[in-house]
Structures are given as structure tokens and as C-alpha cells.
Chains A and B, each alone.
Chain A
């Protein structure tokens, strides 16, 4: 395949990494359109030329779903973008999504040999390029399906773990029904990740591809309430269940004033905008507190915090500030997200920990009392533990606060499935390889097992679950 690349290795290594074209910061902070604009064919070719096609292809081992990266890059060089997209689809049912939201720097690109002496190959940009090309020409190369097995699988949740499992299972010939609690499919891809990072149209199209593959989708079904896992395995006639409900129970700080008007969980703030389109109120009915001209503080340092704070800017906030108790080096957010946020004018208040939300006499937030922190010894996560500095309290003005410090396991499925083992944080216990739970025929994966993680890790869990479910359905062995 390397014949497609005319350049000798040394020259490839001299080529600079292509930059992602972006909307200018001052323009994009005013709109919800996508920030990254994508490579064109010329830029994509220029970038693909950098690939060394090395034998060890560490990029492949770094991918949680095992995309055959160097093969698809070779197809890009040949100019056969549809074949390149089809190559990705063999292992990844949502390439236009992962090409946008994967933390490639920690995965494929983090292992790229070019990165040892320079910048790694921009694998994410290229994945996005071929997936977008495929969408644009409207010729999505759907994988071949195995003959029907007569087995039925219920997938609970239509987020990345559920969609990935559904795509793999349906290809293996099983009849798959995805049950979604909300009125719209996509889970966190719809309610959590903002339009400016992942246009919803792309999620709709990828789901449509799965529908064309034969996956059945049902919205407005809350498993644990509308139907239970036992009913799915019993009267509803499913042979296996995959629980992929995500980590949908927001954690609050448990500090005074958390009930004041203007204090949101990140889930609520983002859901109102992303799912319910509160930014288009009153054309859409769901409102959000009018952020125009107000000071918005977002507490947390992860990708969700960056999404929330950049959303606040786009809602017209006068100031949008990240409040984080460690330093920027410890922030779990992707470097790109922090960079984008800063370019757009987000302020960063690090080594500061909120200790109280302060309200006015009507019960509205007016300020946040924080204390200064210093970094001590590394904790269990390997990050240096923040410790309060005595007598260092100070206040920052804020009329809106968004708490983005993580989630716990949503209890609805577990509470109605007594023989399903959970850990003290409310997550379901499942074997990391087979994703089998304590209950026969029931598998679980994604954030409901690991706690808040990434889209691609959830998709990886969905793939492993699909393999294990397939084995279980074929052999009947638990």
C-alpha cells in the first residue's frame, strides 16, 4: 500500500503537521457553529503524506476500538476517500463523531512515532476528513451483515457505548433494539456535547446509518420505570441486555447556597441548550437563565466544564470564568479545548475552590466565595492534591454558576434490578474484558461502569460488549 506515497521517509518526516482551519475566535464566540472547519482534500493529502506506514503501527494499539489507521491513511493517499471511510467503519461505527471528539493526543496520535521527534500525524483530522467526505457525497459504505441469528438484544441508552454496541451486534446478525429515555437519540452526543464541537446533524446522520443497517430505535422508554431489565429478558423476549445508560446523576459540591436560582449542574445547563435549544428561546420553548451581560462561573476543569463555559460565552455572558481547584497542568480537559476556550476569552481562575454560593434576598446567586489552594503531594490519581490556604477566602461576582465536577451512576436501572451488583458510587460492576455483570445475560459498559470518561472509551466498551454478547448468544455459555 505504501506505493501510494511518492516521498522517501526522510522527506515525510520533514513535512510540518497541517493546522486545522478554524473559525476566528472573535467570530465564533458569538455563534454556535462548529469551531473546527475541517481539512480540504489538498491539506488532507499533505498530512497523509507524513505517515511513515511503520510496521509497528502503534497508532492502532492506541485506538480503543482498533481502527486500522495506517490502512485508511494509505487509501487517503490514493485519493480513494470512500474506501478509507469504509476501512474505518469496519471498526468504528461513528467516524465523523470520533474524528471530532476523540482525545487523539492520548490515543493514536499519542503513540505515533512521528511524535517522538516532532508532531504526530494528525490522525483525527484525517478521520474527520474522510468521514465528512463520505457524508458529503452521500455514499456511506455500510458494512456487510451476517445472516440473521434469530437472537434479540436490547441496548439501554443511545449514547456512544450503546450505538457502538448496536452497530457491531446488528452486523453479527442479531436483532437489536436501542431504548432511549429522552425524546431524541444520541445520549451525551446530543444533550452533552455542544453544537460548536459536534454538530447535531452529524449525530443524526450516524444514527440514520445505524437504522439503515437494521438497528431499531425506541425513544421515550425509561428502563427501570417504563420497563425493567427482568421484563426485557422475560416477557419482552430479549436474549441479552446491554446497559449503557451513562453516568447521568450530577454531583454537586455540597456547599451552602447550591439551591440558589442561577446555580446549575453542567448536565442541566448543557441539556437546556444542546437538547432543548434554549439558546433559541422563544422560537424553542425551553428557557435558560438569560446570561447576557452577566458573570458566569463554571466550576471544574474537564471537557464538560470547557463545553459549559464556552456555551456561556455564546449565550452572551459578560465574563465566563473557569474556577478550578488545582492548576492548569492538572486539568483533565483536552489541551485543544483549553486553548479554544482561552482564545475565545474565557478566564481561568485556578487554585481556587468554591466554599459557598452567596445569594440576594430573592434567592438569586450574586457571588461565589472561594478559597485559595496550594498543591501538595500527589494523590491516588497521580495529580498533586490541592490543599486550602488558611484565611485566603475571597469572593468573585457571579449571577450564574455551573457545577461541572462529574457524575455518579444513574440509579434507575440498578434500583429495579436487585441482582445487579454495583459499587459504592452507584456504578455497575462489570468484567473489564467481557463486560458481563453479576446477572446472567446482562452486560454493562461505558460511563455507567467506569464513571465519566470519553466518547471513544465508551465506544470501545460497546465493541467489547458486542463481542462478548455475540459469544454468549452463540454458545449460551455464561
Chain B
């Protein structure tokens, strides 16, 4: 059991957890992940480590399906059943020169520790972070703390520049500040778009892939991805790969493999988590129940 030391919302559906996990905290490096199981009948899901202190690790969780939404109901003082790691290979940190770190949505949380490591390695680090809307842009303040520049984009223009993360990237690539290295972490379409911006310029670009995993140790092969025409297991060979070599189409198709089951599990979870009879108002005032149901 892994005690939750701290839990707070960063954005709608996005929650930060600090978990007591001394063995993992001691070992983890930027880019690595853990596998988490929330309850006795729970599935195993991979989550990238966003930060670590002496005895604790930080996870930033976006509630998308049943397991992540269930995890996000937990508060400080409660425990997570199973946490194993650190898994995967750490990010390759070199002194590239100018490094651009791109985070889309909760991908920013994954890119964050690598961005800091790149800075510590002596790079000029520029961050581009984006989200659908202002409230979904996370870690901006933390990144401004050490990055040489931070560009923000939102789909609706509610914060920063209206548009996609690829627009500021395109300007950097065309401008005098041409990056020597790009790391992009976010939704598959975003990572694919970033790869297409840097490809013609031959700029080394890495992406962190998020295929479906079970054990996370190379045993099941469910997380296989195609990179440069060859098969790799993201859990032991990745999760970071050369963006220009990744077959994003296969990744997207495989990640949709359990969509029906996921939607069913989520619907049942929602029905259980907020059953009408559990409504606090109607529990206190049963006479209102017929009103609430209608």
C-alpha cells in the first residue's frame, strides 16, 4: 500500500498526487513511469512520474476512464494499492544546445521533469505548452521558473496564443533560434504534427508513447509499437522514441482496441459513483427525491 501524502486538483479532471514510495523515488529518472493498480479488482495502468523527492513521487493524473477517474477520487491520507517502478528507460539527457519541450494537456506533466533535466544539463530550454482551454494548461508557473521562454497556446484562445503548439514551434524552427532538440509529449495527433514540423529540418525529435500496457516489464508484449519498421516494447525499450520513425497510425489503432469496454466500464462507474439515491440533497430531504429524478 502506498500512502497519498498530498492530493490537489490542477485543472478540471487533472489531479496531482504525491505518493510515499521511497524505493521508486530513490531510483526514478525523468521519463520513467510507474504502473498503478487502484483496487483489488483493478486494472494496471501506466502513469509517468512527474517529480520526485526523497521518499515520494508525484503523479499527475487526467481522469479519462474508470481507473483514472477512480484514482482521482482519492485524497491525502488514503492509499493506492499497488505502485511498481520505475519502469521504462529514462529520457536521454544531453547538452544539445537549444531544446524545445512541448507538452499538450496532461502531457506537460510528463515533459516537465525532462525539461528540468535538460536545463540542468546546460541546454537553453524553451517550453511550448498547450491545451483546449485556459484551465487545461498546467504547470505554466513551474516551467517559467527555469525555462528560458514559455509559449502557451489554447484551442479557444482563452490563454496565450489561439491555435496549436505547432504554430510557435514552426516559428522557432524557421527563425534564428532553430532548436537542436525537440521533445513532444501529448495526444497522438499532436505528437505526429510536431514530428512533421521538424522532419524536413532534420531536428532530432523524441516523443513519449502511451500504448496500452499490462505488466510493464516486457512480459506480455501488449505495448508493442512500430518504430523504423521494427517492433519495440514501449515498456522496456521506451517509452521515448524517435518521432520521425514512429508509426503513429498503428499506435492510435491499438490504443482504441478496448474502446467499447472502456466506455462500458466508465458508464457503470459513473452510475455507481453518482447514483441518484446518493445525492446529498435528497438524502437530507427525501421529499425532494421525486423532483431530483425528474
Using CB atoms and an 8 Å cutoff, list the residues of chain A in contact with chain B. 181-183, 191, 219-222, 225-227, 248-250, 252, 254, 258-262, 264-265, 267-268, 271-272, 276-277, 281-287, 289-290, 362-363, 410-412
Q: Which residues on A sit within 8 Å (CB–CB) of B18?
A: none
Q: List 22 A-B contacts (CB under 8 A).
A: A182-B215, A183-B82, A220-B83, A222-B84, A222-B87, A225-B86, A226-B86, A227-B23, A248-B218, A248-B219, A252-B224, A252-B231, A258-B231, A259-B231, A262-B257, A267-B220, A268-B222, A283-B41, A285-B41, A285-B43, A286-B44, A412-B236
Which residue from A219, A261, A271, A363 sits with its C-beta under 8 Å from B214?
A271
Q: A261–B260 Cα gap in the complex (Å)?
A: 13
Q: A285–B84 Cα gap in the complex (Å)?
A: 18
Contact of B262 with A by CB under 8 A? yes
Q: Is the CB of B217 within 8 A of A412?
A: yes
Q: A340–B117 Cα gap in the complex (Å)?
A: 57
Contact of B264 with A by CB under 8 A? yes
Contact of B256 with A by CB under 8 A? yes
Give B38's nearest chain A residue, CB to CB. Answer: A285
Which residue from A227, A264, A282 sits with its C-beta under 8 Å from B265?
A282
A293 CB to closest chain B CB, in angstroms? 14
Which residue from A219, A249, A254, A281 sits with its C-beta under 8 Å from B261?
A281
Q: A443–B68 Cα gap in the complex (Å)?
A: 40
Contact of B151 with A by CB under 8 A? no
Contact of B277 with A by CB under 8 A? no
Which residue from B24, B42, B220, B236 sits with its C-beta under 8 Å from A226?
B24
Which residue from A258, A261, A276, A284 sits with its C-beta under 8 Å from B257?
A261
Give A180's nearest chain B residue, CB to CB. Answer: B84
Q: With A265-B221, A265-B222, A363-B253 as known contacts, state yes or no: A225 contacts B87, CB within 8 Å.
A: yes
Q: Is the CB of A282 within 8 A of B268?
A: yes
A178 CB to closest chain B CB, in angstroms? 15
Q: Which residues on A sit within 8 Å (CB–CB) of B215?
A: 181-182, 191, 271
Given contacts A226-B24, A261-B256, A265-B222, 16 further A-B contacts (CB under 8 A): A183-B37, A222-B85, A222-B216, A222-B217, A225-B85, A225-B86, A225-B217, A267-B220, A268-B220, A272-B214, A281-B265, A282-B268, A284-B43, A285-B41, A285-B66, A289-B257
Q: With A222-B87, A226-B86 as known contacts, state yes or no: A181 contacts B254, CB within 8 Å.
A: no
Using CB atoms and an 8 Å cutoff, list the residues of chain B in contact with chain A. 23-24, 27, 37, 41-44, 66-67, 81-87, 214-222, 224, 226, 231, 233, 236, 247, 249-250, 253-254, 256-258, 260-262, 264-265, 268
Q: With A261-B253, A277-B41, A285-B66 as known contacts, state yes or no: A271 contacts B82, CB within 8 Å.
A: no
Q: With A226-B84, A282-B265 as known contacts, state yes or no: A259 contacts B214, CB within 8 Å.
A: no
Q: A220–B27 Cα gap in the complex (Å)?
A: 14
Which residue from B66, B218, B247 sits with its C-beta under 8 Å from A411?
B218
Q: Is the CB of B67 within 8 A of A181?
A: no
Q: Which residues on B sit within 8 Å (CB–CB) of A277?
A: 41
Q: Which residues on B sit within 8 Å (CB–CB) of A261?
A: 253-254, 256-257
Q: With A259-B254, A271-B214 as known contacts, state yes or no: A219 contacts B82, CB within 8 Å.
A: yes
Q: Is the CB of A267 within 8 A of B219?
A: yes
Q: Is the CB of B221 within 8 A of A250?
A: yes
Q: A265–B223 Cα gap in the complex (Å)?
A: 11
Which residue from A226, A259, A272, A412 sits with its C-beta under 8 Å from B224?
A259
Q: Which residues on B sit within 8 Å (CB–CB) of A226?
A: 23-24, 27, 84-86
Q: Is the CB of A411 within 8 A of B43?
A: no
Q: A411–B41 Cα gap in the complex (Å)?
A: 29
Q: A36–B147 Cα gap in the complex (Å)?
A: 65
Q: Is the CB of A287 within 8 A of B261?
A: yes
Which residue from A183, A282, A410 sits with its C-beta under 8 Å from B264?
A282
Q: A219–B2 Cα gap in the complex (Å)?
A: 12
Q: Which residues on A sit within 8 Å (CB–CB) of B86?
A: 225-226
Q: A283–B44 Cα gap in the complex (Å)?
A: 15
Q: Which residues on B sit within 8 Å (CB–CB) of A410?
A: 217-219
A305 CB to closest chain B CB, in angstroms? 16
Q: Which residues on B sit within 8 Å (CB–CB) of A285?
A: 41-43, 66-67, 265
